[in-house]
Structure 1
Amino acid sequence: MLLSDYLDAKGEPCDGAPMGVLLSAHAERLGSATALVLGGRTLSFAELDAASNRLARRLQALGVEPGDRVVICMPNRVEFIEAMYATWKLGAVPCPISYRLVASEFGTIIGLVEPRCVVGDHTTPPSDCPFLDVDEACPDGFLADPLPPAVACPGKIMASGGSTGRPKLIIDPVPSVWGRDKASLFRPKHITTLNAGPLYHTMPYNYCILPLAEGSKTVCMTQFDPMGWLRLVEEHRPHSVSLVPTMMSRIAKLPAEVTDAADLTSIEVLFHAAAPCPPDIKRWWIDRIGAEKVIEVYGGTERIGSTLIYGHEWLARPGSVGKAAPGDEIVILDDHGNELPPHEVGEIHFRRRATGPGTKYDYIGSETRIRGDLDSFGDIGWLDDDGYLYIADRRVDMVVVGGMNVYPAEIEAAIERNRDVLCSAVIGLPDDDLGQRLHAIVELRDGVAEPADGLAFLAGELGQVSPYKRPRTVEFTRSPVRDDAGKVRRTLLRAERLG
């Protein structure tokens, strides 16, 4: 087949087209058109494909063959995306993981994945695997021509963004070919997207790596910065952007004269997920760009089920994450596996009726939560009478205070209503009387002095939650409480405070 045969008459990817070949097909069709803007570099489709082809041949020289696993571990940079496509071009399985892992965590994951090699840079923790350093100049002799079509199955392995601290990798059984699992109604073909998150997570994968296979221009930040994000929106005029609530909050809490002056009119879709969004922040964005453009999704890398809610629906049902996607059904179970009626809190399960053969995920390093035809992310919540879902928190994050179940997300949302607060995390610490007491870790906005009395500083916000849910102690920090993907590693926070 010719490269052009993998695109339809509109230049859009054909179902079944290998991901690696699609980049070459767009390079042939679009040539010098901009494909990627990242880290001060701008690459055309032709340049990005040529670099990916050379990198693929370097991986071949290290012994990478179809079906082999390749760990990709580095900060957001052009070579990260080149490595993803280079791996697919060989029919190998990319496994992107965080470069922020400590050596012991990295070693555990390497032991679970058993990769043929690791692709990274000076930030990558050391291991015994063959290592391709992307900062080393490409030796002569590695051609930039397209490679023969190849398909990886599974298509990728992604690391979990969970908070338990236990390494877990998710095998995506869908091959590395274009299909409905990779397309999105909220990310049309041939647009400009803006990604602010780390590339080893699922949402940046969907909004930075996949759009290139559609012939879209992708703008990606090396690291999120609220002022920098506004500048990129004005410069590149993206159609679709993806953010996590922490990022949404940091933009919204910039000085009003800055946000009022920013031109955000190009944004047709603001896609957010990964963590609960404080209601005040959600309303700020709805007021700023329009309710029809703010879309929240609840789901996971495992694709066991999902919900979606538009801004106008959320205004009618504040706090909801929406209704089940077509083909999915939400079932709330108690601790004994009994189905609960609306308004009763229990573990959220999905029944995915549309799942077909060869689309069932698997874990490396953990067990699934499958119960018959039901599966769960481990989150707690309830349904209203119309089938709209509300998240309470993750089961592993729940704190039992004097026999009462407390969900930190509710308290964190209240604390973050304070404009001087950027972010917060609430954890349980041992208490002789109550079993556990609530402790709040609060990240202050730049320029805000640390209060002498933390509980008094937050009194207005904490007064909105029940007395037994109020933290007994508060600490303030200038360090990020959440990671770049908006996740809180509560296990680590708790361990640090327990010494």
Structure 2
Amino acid sequence: MHLTNALHRAVRQNPRLPATIFGDRVRTWEESAERIARLGSALKELGVQSGDRVAILSLNSDAFHEYLFAVPWADGVIAPMNYRWSLAEIIECLNDSEPCVLFVDDAFSHLVEQLRAEVPSLRAFVFCGEGSAPAGTLQLEELIAGHESIPDARRGGDALAALYYTGGTTGRPRGVMLSHLNLVSSALGAQATGAFVIPGGRHLHSAPLFHLGAGAGWLARNLAGGSHVILQQFAPEPVADAISKYEVTDAILMPTMIQMLVDSPDTQDHDLSSLQRLIYGASPISDALLERAAKRLPGVGFSQIYGMTETSPVTAVLDPAAHNDAVLRRSAGRAAPHAEVMIVDNEDREIPSGQVGEVVIRGPHVMRGYWNLPEMSAETLRGGWMHTGDGGYVDANGYLFIVDRIKDMIISGGENVYSTEVENALATHPAVASCVVIGVPDEEWGERVHAVVVCQPGTTTTAAELRTHCKGLIAGYKTPRSVDFVDALPTTAAGKVLKRELRSRYWPAAGRQVS
């Protein structure tokens, strides 16, 4: 299995079908493949060797699509950077992955000189935006025009395909190593459920492609045939306009995005009747939102995906029919054909259905490990199972229900936020004596980052001041949206903070402390 196989298949079977639609620019699969083969040649000339990382810091575009294919074509490894991170976080992850080439677009080309100075591994910067290349960069179109096609390296199987970074429990993002087998098997398994992208349809990309959640749609669309409709970023009216104009059949949107799409007054006059499937993840959809969305989009089937970057990312799928059941739509669905799901106790022994334990996963989609973190990799993958840190249970029919997060991860608006990372940032403020960060329910974001803070004796601070302080250290979406100031934190006799007790004050639904 290799990522570029889908490209070869599309060229043989539908060469003149649009591969990408980006604004007024349409490129067929035949045109796209020619550009990718030339770009692969340019990457080789820039020094990309087998297994070298090639990074990208860019909004969505058709160039992002070409990057995702051209890097493995040149025998390299994809390394997308999260543009929502702070600059310090971006630099940290670039230095961890050590890419030799970085693609940048208009939004981030101003960072080139600083990145050149602080990331020694970078030998070349490719400008993949519109217009002329800024100083210090190479222009994508000139590279493509100036190079002849080379054969596909057909990098595949267990070979490393991509490094996708995810939040770290110790405050350091972790590079998840995913092979070609991991990524392709996940996409094939998702498609085999019949609840993913529509075969031969048009998939809308508005969620950021640096996220593997959005990347899952890119992978599946390549396998299922059809076209990619690409927007730089999500906004309700442009999404509605693209669905109507380009007859989009399916899209991956977070529940917060679905809410904005169906509730915005700017989208009400758009014809969205071409849409057949809305795929969402990160959290279940609320009954109220599902009702409003079904009314606005009567022909749409809703599918929920459960997984994580470490599982490439799809593990379980809740199909459209299950959304009609009030109990089942609280679940994360059932294991996809490529995945095994088991619930274990704290000694990794399987426990009966209906009992809560840790969710562990096995299958060809499970990551190779964490980049440069062998001990963490071994612990997470012990016994041949991916230990998710999610607490949950499986019912008698195989539906997976998530009830807690053992690793204290918060999912806010589709972004993973590890509480320790935020706590580390808060703790550097001189007024903070101790703090705890938890996820609390939020109507718009599913969960929001909430801090409970004990101040140093004789000092005071405000929520606004703490937010400003954190934004200088971590990404804006990780900073606490709300803060409570208390005299003391609840602890065990051994002095361990009782996070579950804190969460229970904010989560009214008994037995569930995640969105």
Q: TM-score, normalised by structure 1?
A: 0.70
Amino acid at match of 1:427: H
Query: Matches of 2:216 and 2:222 in 1, distance apart?
Result: 10
Q: Is the 8 A contact 2:7 2:33 kept in 1?
A: yes
Which residue of the other structure, out of 276, 279, 285, is the alignment partner of 2:287? Answer: 279
Q: Is 2:401 aligned against 1:390?
A: yes
Which residue of the other structure, out of 197, 202, 211, is the alignment partner of 2:221? Answer: 211
Amino acid at match of 2:274: S
Greater helix content = 2
Structure 1 vs Structure 2 CA RMSD? 3.9
1:48-447 aligned within 5 A: 48-121=32-105, 123=108, 125=111, 126=115, 127-128=119-120, 129-134=122-127, 135=133, 136-137=138-139, 138-139=141-142, 142-143=145-146, 145-153=148-156, 154-162=159-167, 164=169, 165-174=171-180, 181-182=187-188, 184-185=191-192, 186-208=196-218, 211-212=221-222, 215-255=225-265, 261-289=269-297, 293-303=301-311, 306-316=315-325, 317=327, 318-326=329-337, 328-350=339-361, 352=362, 355=364, 361-366=368-373, 367-368=376-377, 369-397=380-408, 411-412=440-441, 415-416=442-443, 421=444, 425-431=448-454
Cα deviation code 1:242-265 (max 9, x no counterpart): 11122112223324xx65544332
The alpha carbon displacement at 1:295 in A equals: 0.8
Amino acid at match of 1:131: A
Which residue of the other structure, out of 36, 44, 60, is the alignment partner of 2:28? Answer: 44
Cα deviation code 1:390-431 (max 9, x no counterpart): 2224333379xxxxxx9966x41xx41xxxx56650424234
CA, structure 1 residues 160+249, in 2 after alignment: closer, same or farther (shift >3 Å)?
farther
Q: Is the 8 A contact 1:35 1:217 kept in 2?
A: yes
The alpha carbon displacement at 1:296 in A equals: 0.7
Query: Matches of 1:63 and 1:200 in 2, distance apart?
Result: 23
Query: Matches of 2:400 and 2:294 in 1, distance apart?
Result: 20
CA, structure 1 residues 306+396, in 2 after alignment: closer, same or farther (shift >3 Å)?
same
Q: Is the 8 A contact 1:31 1:44 kept in 2?
A: yes
Query: Matches of 1:209 and 1:315 in 2, distance apart?
Result: 28
Q: Secondary structure at the match of 1:396?
A: coil
Percent of aligned pairs sharing the same letter: 23
Query: Matches of 2:5 and 2:319 in 1, distance apart?
Result: 35
Unaligned runs of at least 5 residues, structure 1: 1-15, 400-405, 433-438, 443-453, 456-465, 473-487, 489-499
CA, structure 1 residues 77+142, in 2 after alignment: closer, same or farther (shift >3 Å)?
same
Query: Matches of 2:98 and 2:165 in 1, distance apart?
Result: 17
Query: Matches of 1:250 and 1:207 in 2, distance apart?
Result: 20
Q: Is the 8 A contact 1:314 1:320 kept in 2?
A: no
Cα deviation code 1:16-67 (max 9, x no counterpart): 5x54465366457645542212255332334333332332222122111233
| Aligned equivalent of 1:448 | none
CA, structure 1 residues 196+393, in 2 after alignment: closer, same or farther (shift >3 Å)?
farther
Unaligned runs of at least 5 residues, structure 2: 128-132, 410-418, 420-435, 456-462, 468-482, 485-500, 508-514
Query: Matches of 1:355 and 1:23 in 2, distance apart?
Result: 22
Query: Matches of 2:5 and 2:344 in 1, distance apart?
Result: 45
CA, structure 1 residues 178+146, in 2 after alignment: closer, same or farther (shift >3 Å)?
farther
Aligned length: 413
The alpha carbon displacement at 1:471 in A equals: 5.0
Q: TM-score, normalised by structure 2?
A: 0.68
The alpha carbon displacement at 1:192 in A equals: 1.1
CA, structure 1 residues 315+303, in 2 after alignment: closer, same or farther (shift >3 Å)?
same
Query: Matches of 2:208 and 2:144 in 1, distance apart?
Result: 32
CA, structure 1 residues 39+143, in 2 after alignment: closer, same or farther (shift >3 Å)?
same
Query: Matches of 2:85 and 2:150 in 1, distance apart?
Result: 33
Query: Matches of 2:392 and 2:446 in 1, distance apart?
Result: 22
